[in-house]
Structures are given as C-alpha cells and as structure tokens.
Structure 1
Amino acid sequence: MRFFNLFDSHFFNNFLLRYCRIGIAADRRKHIPQISTGKVRGRHAAANFIIPANTRLSARMSFHRRAQIPVKSADIILLDTQPHRIHNANQFFGIGIARPRRRPQRFTCLDKSSFFHKVACCFDFSMGKDRQENSNDHKHQKATHFKSFVFTLIASMVFGHATFAETTDLPRPLVDADFHNIDAMQASLGQKLFYDKILSGNQNISCGTCHHHRFGGSDGLSLGIGEGGVGVGPTRLPGFGDNRIKKRVPRNASALWNIGAKEVRVLFQDGRLSVSDDYENGFNSPAEEWLPNGLDTILAAQAILPMTAQFEMAGNPKENEVAGAAHDRIDAVWPIIAKRVRIIPEYGQLFVDAFDDVETADQVDITHIAKALGAFIGQEWRSHDSPFDAFISGDKTALNASQKRGLDLFYGKANCASCHSGSLLSDHKFYALALPPFGPGRTRRFDPYVRDVGRMGESDDLADAYRFKTPQLRNVALTGPYGHNGAYASLENMVRHHLNPLQMLDEWQPEMAQLPTAEWLQAIDFVVMSDKREMARQRSHLDITPIDLNDREIDDLVAFLHSLTGATALRLPLGVPDTVPSGLPVDK
C-alpha cells in the first residue's frame, strides 16, 4: 500500500495534472491563492485547492443551507474530511457553486478515487457561458478526468479496491487512562448504595431498579416507572391503590456505559448537568448554587439528583420527609438521606474504611455517598472489550463480513459517524430526530403543552427545540428501547428512523411503545400526538436528512451495532449484591 501511495502521488501529480489549467476565484477580480499539489500531505490524493475548515460544511445540512463556495473553474478539489465530518465522497453533491450574478448550481462528479486515505474527487465546475468561453481548457479538463478514471480503474484492478474500513481513520481504542481513577473500596461501597432503597423517600426504589444489571444498565421500558411501582424491568407494574404512580418518568432510563470517561462533560438527554463553574461548585445543574461543594466528578454530581425528583425516588409531598424537603428546596433533601445512611452501623464502618477524611460515621455527608455511587458507576459500567474494540486495536478478524460491511456504512454512506464519532461513539452534542412523542413530557412551569422540548428546556434557545444528546453506543444492543423516550423496541427500527425520520414518524403506532398498562394515565400518554400544531412544530425541527439504504445494508448496519457489545458486558465485576446494610429487599 505504501508503494502504491508513492506511485500514485508521483504519477497523479506529474503526469495527469500537468494538463490542467485551473483558475480558482472568489469573484472576477480577486483570486484565491492556489495551494500547490506538492504541498499537500502525502497521504492525501493530489489536489489543486483545499477547502478550508472555516467554510463550515456539514454532511447533514440540506442544499440550501450549505456554504456557497465561489469558484470559477476547477478540476480537482480536496476536502479535508475531519473538520467537516465528511466521510463519503458522495456527500459532496450538496455543496453549491456560487457564481457572480448567477444562481448556485451543483457539482458534476466525474470520478471518485475512493481508495485514498482522504476522500478526493474530480469535479467539472464549468458552467454556462464559461463552458463556451473556456472550451479549450474544458477539453483539457475532460482529458484529465478520463485519464484519472483510467488510472483509478487500473489501480483498482492491480492493487485491489480497499474497503473503507481499511482506509478511513477509525477512532483510537479506549484505554484505562481515558477514565477517571476509581477507588476500589469506594466502588464496593457504592454497589451497596446503588441497590439500597434507603436512598429513596418511601424506601421502595433504588438506583438499580431503573438501571439494572439484567437490562444493560437500563430497565427495558420506554418510559420508566419510578416511585410507587412494583417489580423490575419490562414486567414492572405501576403500583396499586393509593401507592400507584401518579405519573410516568418523562424519559427513557439512559444506560450508564462509559459515562466515567474523562471526556464526558455533559450528562442527561437534555444536558441539564454539565461541568461548569457558573455556580462556583464545579457544575451547572438543576440544583444551581445549592449543589454541594466537594463533588469530584460529574458521575458523583449526577448520582444524587434523582433522589430529589418526585416521580423518580423522592415520592409525593406529604408522603415522607424527603418529598417534603424537596418541595421546600432541593438541597434540603441530602442531609436527610445522609443521616439515614450513616446511622446504620455497617455503612458507618464502610465509609470510615473507604474515605481518608472520614474518621467517624457522623462525618459522613452526601458528598461521600455521591462519590461512592460515582465510583461504582464508573468502574462497573466501563466497557471497551467488544469485537469492534478488538478490530480498531488491530485484529482485522474480530468482525465478520456483515459487521465489516456495517462498519463501512457507519463511517461512510449511512453517515452515522457524523454524530456518533470519537472513541466513545458520541460527539456529546444535541440533535432533533423527530422521534414519535408520547408520555407526560418534560414541561417547564410556564409551558401549557404536554410535550418534551429537549435541550431548549435547559438552554432557553429556540434553536435547541426538540434536540436531545447523542448517546454513546457501546453495548447498545443491550439497552433498548431506543430514543430519548424509548419509542422503538428494536435497533432495526431505530436505524430505520434515522434513515427516514418523517416516514417512520407517520407509520409509528402507540402499541410500539413499551409501556405497562396504567388505565388512569392512558388519557395523557398519547395526547400530544393529537395536537396538530405541536406535531407540525416537531416535524419542522429536524437535523438529519433521509438516506437510502436497502434491507441488506440495514441488516449489516445492525450487525455492526451488535459488534459493539463487550465480551464482559453481561458479567460485570461486582454485579447485584445479595443483601444491603439497610436490610431492605434488593431488586434481583
């Protein structure tokens, strides 16, 4: 391959391109300096002009929103793919050519040299009168394109056509240094707290109830059943009599895989928790300035927020002292929880053993509980031993043929990696996918609609309406249902929604949601879908464009997603404890 690259660089630069007479102009007066092909990095195909990163192209933009590049004529343009998150030469077709006093027109792609390390294309930019005025140059251009095509054909026959998986820049493998350091004793203590219902207001639900080992760190439901429910997983019931749930949890229970990575600085589907010093406590959170100081990681910060949520763990006002405190002010909850824990002798001794700054049990506060929970989550749900991880570490036999084709689609034609990028397979940003809306929504105090506006609810920026955070994909096959509200039970349907969002939205049926029956909630479960104005608003906010894949390609893409399942994902280090120090029952 190295010989081929050297041969190609010399042959392509010195034999084919010498026929090109190329002028690249911003307008009829000012010319953009041409970048010499000799200065292009060796691993790139030859190029007469490199589109700079500040043109802000995006594979997801529709044509009319793309940057218009003023060009008079050109033969070969190289787009440095990484700044623009472009992964396939066919994605270039939406880029417009802005001519002086002329309407923008699209490229005509004459040849694609897809075996190069970076994507390079030959384009014919000649248009209108310029095509006639520069007819002689155009003949040279056509000859050059033909020679380039012949060269590509011969090279493919002689050297073989490398797959995209073999030539593209795949993410680097995850290593232990990518994660926060974990204290083993704190993690062991955190395991007990994670499954102990003493952290909830009515002592009837634990963190593990909705983030259970048996269900990949989730609960197998579209929308969770929080405080008041009975059971665990997809068979969890909404409760009975006066203790039945008053409302479903508004969003799907997110899985916990690899959220202990150092690059994770935003959590929750609307990003309501982020690393920030806005409130001088290290985080921007719903607790604002009342979040305790001393929380060392975002894992610790997120662990104590569900304790304050009425429909998750706190319970309803007047039911218990925790719920009453949460109604007064959020930080009034945590001293009550901390006291409950530290007065249990076994817990007191475990904290003394695990924390250097705790000499006696009465020194335990909510920050110690948060750190222990964060340590457990960070250690237990770390996973980077999947076939995909083996493949990017150098074992090219780790994926089967279907998974390799799916990998090519993921980083190529299907454009998945434009958002699911990097080593964690997430860019940690927010996008609107027009997922079918249902459930109680996550409304703001002044919001008259039953709806979930996503990131806008936190940022108050209209541009963020209906956008939700890009999830990481390790072990995604274990964590259904999928979407911020669990709209799809299968990976295949979630993939199909990404490929054609509005069609899938139109075809979606309420019975596709994994919702345990609760007759007293049925009136509100799907009321938003009968609101024509709200549905029109959600349809108009869409950050992805349809992509055409056939059934085999979809099967290959799903096969690749299954290759992200870790070898030890179903037998994690600590697992579910048999008992907890409070003596309360453990959800098994």
Structure 2
Amino acid sequence: MPAPLGPEDFLAFDRRQAALGQLLFYDKILSGNRNIACATCHHPTLGTGDRLSLGIGEGGEGLGQRRSAGLGGNRIRKRIPRNAPGLWNLGAKEIRTLFHDGRLSIAETYENGFNSPAEEWLPQGFNSLLAAQAVFPVTAQFEMAGNPKENEIAGAIHDRIDSAWPILAKRVRVIPEYGRLFVSAFDHVKRPEDVTIVEIANALAAFQAIEWQSHDSPFDRFLSGDESALNASGKRGLELFYGKAGCARCHTGKLLSDQKFHALGLPPFGPGRTRLHDPMVRDVGVMGETDLLEDAYRFRTPMLRNVELTAPYGHNGAYPTLEGIVRHHLDPDGMLKTWRPETARLPEAPWLAGIDFMVWKDPREMARQALFRDIAPTAVSDLEISDLVAFLRALTGTSSVTAPPFGIPDAVPSGLPIDR
C-alpha cells in the first residue's frame, strides 16, 4: 500500500489567481457562442463531471443527465467522443500526462515544455500541466468553440489552433472587473492589455488544483494509522484490491494510478476519437498519439480518489455503477458479451442514433479490438465484488468534498448565467 497522500504531494498555486480562476471556470465567456462553461461538463454537484457517458457540448441545454442535445439549427452535430473525467487531485506533482489518450504531456519536444496537439504553437509560461490542458477545450469545436462561421473563435481555429487564443484573451480582459482582477492577481500584469491566454489558463489551473485537492477519505485515515477508518467490508475489499483481485497492478501509488495506458476491452460506442485517415468509427486510444500498433485501444489509468462520485466509468462512460466497472475488470470479455446499449447514459439525439452504436456492426473492427487485452479474468464471488465496491467508496473525501475552499460563485463578471 502507498504512503498517505498529503499537501506536500501537490504543486503550490497562488490563491489570488485561484480566486480569479473560480470566476473563469464558471463563466461562459470562454466559449465561442458564450453558452457553455468549463463547469457545464465538470460540475461540483456532479462529482466534477457531467454524469453522462459521452458529453453534450456546444449547442446542448441544461446540466448533467437533464442536459439535452439542443433543438433546430442549434442542436449538437456530434457527441463528445469520450467521457468527461473528474477533476480531483489534478494538481499533484507526479502527474505528467493528461487526457484519456495522453495527448498532452510534460516533455522537451518543443520549447514550451509540453508535447501537445498545438505542438510548437502552444505558448510558453504555463504554471503547470493542468494550465496547458485548460487551453484545449476552448478550441474544440464540439466542446466549447462552436461550429465554423458561428463565431470568431471557431473561425480562427479553422485557420490555426493558436489563432483563437488572443481573441479569447481580449474578450475576457476588456471586461473591467476581469481587467482589475488580473492586474491584482499577477505581479507581471501591469494593465489589462497584458493579459494573454497563458494568464487565463494559469488562473484556471490554480483554481482547479486548490478547489479539488482531496486526501481526507477513510482510506487516507487508514493509511495514517486509524484502523477504525474502514469497516469490515472495506478492509476485506482493501485486501482484495491489493491482493487476489489484482487492482493495484495498475491502480498503484498515492494517486491509485500508474499513469500508464491499458486495454480493457470496454464496450465501444459513440463517434470515437477518429484520426484523419480512419475509414470507420473507432477510438484507438493512445495509439492515436504514438502511432504504435502495440498501443492500440489502450487508455490512461484513471486515479481513484472520489471515484464513487464520478460515474459513469471508463474512457467512454460505458458503466453507470462501480459494480459494473469492477465486474468488467474481473471478466472483460464476459461483460462485453452481456453489455447492452441502454446501459450507456446518452441524452436522446435521434439524428445521431445511426452513429452511436455503428461500431458494433463492423465485425472486423470488433475483432481487432478483441485482440488487445491487458487484463485477464479473475474468479471472485459476488460478496467479494461487494467488498471491493465498499473499499472504493472508502476513497471518497469528506470535508474536501462537502466544503471546498471556493465553491460556486454567485455571479461572474461577464454577467452570463451560471450553471447550477
């Protein structure tokens, strides 16, 4: 078992910048059509996710499982290809890769210090990997940017990814309250005109890293020596997790993730994150980043603290319950055979129905996916599965979840509505 997770395992961030980042996180000003915020798909009342298998981004209406796919000309053109991950503990020092397919990582590939979809066009000056990540959802057509010809952000991205960031920065800094807050929060910013996408991203990262730092679960207390922190079922589950069930082979270390990539054979559906040359709907995982055949269908191991709060599970949200995803890990091919499309949490969008489960009609693609498995069947009883679930629930934080440092603001400087 790991040593207890603590404040020393996290990067330090400026609380003035975090307070500014709180406003930006909930403000729809950062979206192309001013109709979706970071918080829409990563909401604290929804465990910092959206409770959907595949999210409804730009063009949708509502929050969480009540979110609809929109109407008429504003309806969505595509589902988000992957599940919206939770935001817990993303300020940890040991994290060096983000996104389900690892397409953003700390690296010396370019002078900016990161390997990313923006390559050499990513600016310098980000305070963390989390800050670098923050600039990509705002440039994604189906997440926050919108469709070409709808707004100046989407139009600029169509030219080149970095063309949109100066437009977004100006949109924010010309709001008087934001201008004052940036000058106050960043020592090098002397006037609002100095604000760039880097300062916006650094503020967002500071907020997320401080707001959702969580290491006060019963498991953390148990690691610190409090034997009574886990009940009998949780203790049995812990023994299974680190023993017979083999969970800790990948869910290891203080963050309960090896930060690597594994093929689990999850039921495929949705549009997939296809590459330019893919002739069919599919998602090849980290192979899309590395172009190595041995990486096909492998996805990043998620961290597990507060996992109880972040359903549904898997890179595409294939399982709505902890029991379901646990059973899949213990019998991947058996669970794949019995999985049904109605298990997925997909807001109704009849015009996308032909795409949602198209991959199941492609026997060659399904056969390719079946070749890649990094987990093998493990015989466990129903009682043991119940114990494993009890242990996973013991990873849920207490005051870090119920009383975060900042919370949801009453209003944002743009005056746009806040999702609640």
Q: Is TM (by shorter chain) over 0.5?
A: yes
Q: Which of the numbers 174, 192, 196 marks the counterpart of 2:27?
A: 196
The Cα of 1:571 is off from its aligned counterpart by 2.7
Give the Cα–Cα distance (whole angstroms) in 1 for the partners of residues 48 and 294 of structure 2. 31
Q: TM-score, normalized by length of structure 1?
A: 0.71
Aligned to 1:212: 43
> Which AA in structure 2 matches 1:353?
S
CA offsets 1:203-243 (integer angstroms, 9 cap, x no match): 00000000000111100000000000000111100001100
Q: Which of the numbers 265, 273, 281 marks the counterpart of 1:442?
A: 273
1:587 aligns with 2:398: no
Give the Cα–Cα distance (whole angstroms) in 2 for the partners of residues 546 and 570 of structure 1. 37
The Cα of 1:397 is off from its aligned counterpart by 0.7
> 1:367-382 maps to which residues of 2 (within 5 A)?
367-382=198-213
The Cα of 1:570 is off from its aligned counterpart by 3.1
CA RMSD of aligned residues (A): 0.5
Q: Which of the numbers 311, 321, 326 marks the counterpart of 1:480?
A: 311
- Secondary structure of the corresponding residue to residue 269 of structure 2: coil
Aligned to 2:406: 574
State the structure with more CA Rg. Answer: 1
Q: Which of the numbers 214, 217, 227 marks the counterpart of 1:386?
A: 217
CA offsets 1:452-507 (integer angstroms, 9 cap, x no match): 00000010000000000000000000000000000000000000000000010010
Give the Cα–Cα distance (whole angstroms) in 1 for the partners of residues 90 and 282 of structure 2. 27
The Cα of 1:344 is off from its aligned counterpart by 0.3
1:221 aligns with 2:52: yes
Give the Cα–Cα distance (whole angstroms) in 2 for the partners of residues 381 and 530 of structure 1. 41
Q: How many residues end up aligned between the 2 structures?
A: 419
Q: Which of the numbers 461, 466, 490 marks the counterpart of 2:292?
A: 461
1:518 aligns with 2:338: no
- Secondary structure of the corresponding residue to residue 397 of structure 1: helix
> Which AA in structure 1 matches 2:289?
E
Greater RCO, CA 8 A, separation 6+: 2
Q: Which of the numbers 308, 318, 322 marks the counterpart of 1:491?
A: 322
> 1:131-530 maps to which residues of 2 (within 5 A)?
170-530=1-361
Give the Cα–Cα distance (whole angstroms) in 1 for the partners of residues 127 and 206 of structure 2. 10
Give the Cα–Cα distance (whole angstroms) in 1 for the partners of residues 275 and 284 of structure 2. 9
Give the Cα–Cα distance (whole angstroms) in 1 for the partners of residues 203 and 47 of structure 2. 21
Aligned to 1:42: none
Give the Cα–Cα distance (whole angstroms) in 2 for the partners of residues 292 and 218 of structure 1. 28
> 1:97-116 maps to which residues of 2 (within 5 A)?
none
Identity of aligned residues (%): 67
1:547 aligns with 2:378: yes
> Which AA in structure 2 matches 1:581?
P
Give the Cα–Cα distance (whole angstroms) in 1 for the partners of residues 402 and 369 of structure 2. 37
CA offsets 1:352-395 (integer angstroms, 9 cap, x no match): 11000011111111110010000001001100000000000110
Give the Cα–Cα distance (whole angstroms) in 1 for the partners of residues 196 and 281 of structure 2. 37
Give the Cα–Cα distance (whole angstroms) in 2 for the partners of residues 574 and 381 of structure 1. 10
Give the Cα–Cα distance (whole angstroms) in 1 for the partners of residues 73 and 26 of structure 2. 25
> Which AA in structure 2 matches 1:370?
A
Give the Cα–Cα distance (whole angstroms) in 1 for the partners of residues 405 and 67 of structure 2. 26
Aligned to 1:67: none
Give the Cα–Cα distance (whole angstroms) in 2 for the partners of residues 573 and 508 of structure 1. 40
The Cα of 1:319 is off from its aligned counterpart by 0.3
- Secondary structure of the corresponding residue to residue 274 of structure 1: strand
- Secondary structure of the corresponding residue to residue 334 of structure 1: helix
> 1:69-84 maps to which residues of 2 (within 5 A)?
none
In the alignment, structure 2 segments of 5+ residues that lack a partner are none
Give the Cα–Cα distance (whole angstroms) in 2 for the partners of residues 486 and 543 of structure 1. 19
- Secondary structure of the corresponding residue to residue 105 of structure 2: strand
Give the Cα–Cα distance (whole angstroms) in 1 for the partners of residues 333 and 247 of structure 2. 18
> Which AA in structure 2 matches 1:267?
L
- Secondary structure of the corresponding residue to residue 198 of structure 1: helix
Give the Cα–Cα distance (whole angstroms) in 2 for the partners of residues 455 and 404 of structure 1. 34
Aligned to 1:15: none
CA offsets 1:247-277 (integer angstroms, 9 cap, x no match): 0000000111111100000000000000001
Aligned to 1:50: none
In the alignment, structure 1 segments of 5+ residues that lack a partner are 1-169
Give the Cα–Cα distance (whole angstroms) in 2 for the partners of residues 570 and 237 of structure 1. 28
Give the Cα–Cα distance (whole angstroms) in 2 for the partners of residues 510 and 294 of structure 1. 44
> Which AA in structure 2 matches 1:255?
G
Q: TM-score, normalized by length of structure 2?
A: 0.99
Q: Which of the numbers 557, 562, 572 marks the counterpart of 2:393?
A: 562
> Which AA in structure 2 matches 1:182?
F
The Cα of 1:572 is off from its aligned counterpart by 1.5
> Which AA in structure 2 matches 1:305?
F
The Cα of 1:177 is off from its aligned counterpart by 1.4
The Cα of 1:280 is off from its aligned counterpart by 1.1
> Which AA in structure 2 matches 1:361?
P
Give the Cα–Cα distance (whole angstroms) in 2 for the partners of residues 262 and 488 of structure 1. 30
